[in-house]
Structure 1
């Protein structure tokens, strides 16, 4: 290995043998990697993620200028995808990316022997984040008798605890889980807008190990579209455009696999309500809160604030179908309103509720599509507009139901 490269502030360890792919995989499954391009993919996505979380967003949330240099086994191939990768980074985080590549020696062990896994056979790889949506996806797999490899990533101790419980549930249904090690980095920016790209790369590597060509992303359509109402910054991690761009990258790299989004035209409430009682009883182990992840000062038993947008969407989705009894403890529980909410989070509670008020208003007056960055090329379905409208109309009814039960 070439160990002459200089260590930088965001490089984990000196030497090509200590690239993110080696740390994440920890040597496990390397013998089954079909091509080193998958290790390169992990390193490209990981370096983007590392730079994203290592550079604080300024108070005005202006685009950052971020430079990334990634050691890869074939710089020519990856340089040909430079513009597409920068476009993906820009869409996910809103920043200006400059991604460069340098050649490095082989990332596989010196005495590497390629060994394909042929048994048991699996139908697909399913991304398992520990969130409620992917948990609903695991139920769909179980109901349809789909044999899947569940691919997860250890975020932090709190989320890992819930993820462990979910993996144990999946094992009861003979599901196989594969969780990757955590990158030990200091996060200056906790929004982690590019982390889904890293998850996709890890899922692709997993698919390569098991000769699988389908990767399933289970996330609800409302949160995937995530309109930036009133210029509010929202995540695009599972947006149809994101998947379109990543699938385009896979095509350009001649990788025979695709990422699908089965819940794109479903609301979170619909997904939850379709669960069996057995699965509903385990909803309490899933993680949703964005505020608790970003601000560890929030100390409550469940780790859910109850007033950020993800928590409010979860409560809306649970309450719309009378499933509150299966939910967990919130800092701002069901029934919190502007009069009885804690002064410490009153401002954000009001802001999150205003977001859903405006969202619902635009659904009802038909202007919501002015807020959405969706095009036909992002979809396989020709009637994607009709399906999206049907999903949004259903969400509007769910919002109405929630606020009729819990007036603001």
Structure 2
């Protein structure tokens, strides 16, 4: 897999993305290469029931990476539920630089990831008073259009911040998955943090989707920003003596709580953000007509969020063609829509989610421990879940005919 990538891009992943940027610890370069190759292998290896992936990865710091191979395996196993094998080999004829030589001349106060989604967009508001470098990679789907609009928005606000988008072209995806995409994001982010002379990478993901419990076992859930994922990732950074930490500052907030903090011009921009999971995963989804499918779990959470924040009109009126699926299903024979099965499954998912919170059984589904919550108080997680339960209940009360007439 590594040689296949080298043939395609002619250089190592780090050199391809960062070109002549040689001012970072060589262990950080090795880690970036490892993270990207995991993501690359995940999307370019055909999916199967018993899929096992073995990666041979060349690194400069061979002894250090042999020591953390089990930690990397544990992280990827948690994120994918699959067995991975990592064989680290010594890379020849590379620089011996193991120290930070210099930082970028333009000093930033914050480095944060920005995908084009509603959660990450709130990060632009939370950092409005700070000179921030937002980092992402250019996506060829509705999210890509959103990224460009956000970039223009940041410029128009004169925030003294910038949105740096890396290009990832000509990827032959054999498996449409988002499970390990965050590792690539993290890799881009921590390199930018190092180049900026900082020690923290900020991400913005609401606590509900971070936990993303597999309540309906027919549904595949991702663990891209789960507290355990971030904890295991930070452990690897510590083991390598890389003085950087990933922090999800919204780990104990619902999506609605995040949105409620926005001011009017940011609220007006919500219509340009992209939440849909189907648009990323389903190649047959016609996103030339609609930005969101309106039926998947992320889309339903968006609807619950805007309802709880009193902002349903953002999608229902201002952006009335954003959903392929009827916005709330009221007074429509929505079961005739091809997405009805997905929609009904999502409604059942959130209904069961709130019932499990009410009964206290939800904690057996979350896979969390106190030590994973270095950021945010562990007990505050319970308040966030209670708040989300109330938001879902209010949404169902507001739209009692949510499933329409069958």
TM-score normalised by the chain length of structure 2? 0.90
User: Number of residues paired by the alignment?
Assistant: 391
- Matching residue of 1:347: 341
CA 1:201–1:365: 2 relative to 1, 3 Å = same
Matched position secondary structure for 1:282: helix
- Matching residue of 1:3: none
Matched position secondary structure for 2:334: coil
Contact 2:2 2:37 in 1 (8 A): no
- Matching residue of 1:230: 216
CA distance in 1, matches of 2:231, 2:192: 20
Q: Does 1:79 align with 2:66?
A: yes
* 4+ residue segments displaced more than 6 Å: none
Q: Does 1:121 align with 2:115?
A: no
- Matching residue of 1:175: 161
CA distance in 1, matches of 2:237, 2:338: 46
CA 1:15–1:263: 2 relative to 1, 3 Å = closer
Structure 1 residue 24 displacement after superposition: 2.3
Q: 2:143 aligns with which of 159, 183, 197?
A: 159
CA distance in 1, matches of 2:252, 2:83: 31
Matched position secondary structure for 2:223: coil
Q: Report which stretch shifted further, 209-218 or 115-124.
A: 115-124
Unmatched tracts of structure 2, length 5 or more: none
Matched position secondary structure for 1:374: coil
Contact 1:67 1:98 in 2 (8 A): yes
Contact 2:103 2:194 in 1 (8 A): no
Matched position secondary structure for 1:186: coil
Contact 1:306 1:333 in 2 (8 A): yes
- Cα deviations across residues 331-383 of structure 1 (Å, max 9, x unaligned)? 11322268424431111111111100100111111111111100011112684
Contact 2:141 2:280 in 1 (8 A): no
Q: Does 1:41 align with 2:31?
A: yes
Alignment of structure 1 residues 54-69 onto 2, 5 Å? 54-58=44-48, 62=49, 64-69=51-56
Matched position secondary structure for 2:338: helix
Contact 2:326 2:334 in 1 (8 A): no
CA 1:16–1:297: 2 relative to 1, 3 Å = closer
CA distance in 2, matches of 1:73, 1:279: 45
CA distance in 1, matches of 2:393, 2:102: 52
Contact 1:72 1:104 in 2 (8 A): yes
Matched position secondary structure for 1:18: coil
Q: Does 1:395 align with 2:388?
A: yes
- Matching residue of 2:196: 210
Unmatched tracts of structure 1, length 5 or more: 1-7
- Matching residue of 1:149: 133
- Matching residue of 2:312: 324
CA distance in 1, matches of 2:121, 2:94: 34
Q: Does 1:309 align with 2:297?
A: yes
CA distance in 1, matches of 2:228, 2:50: 20
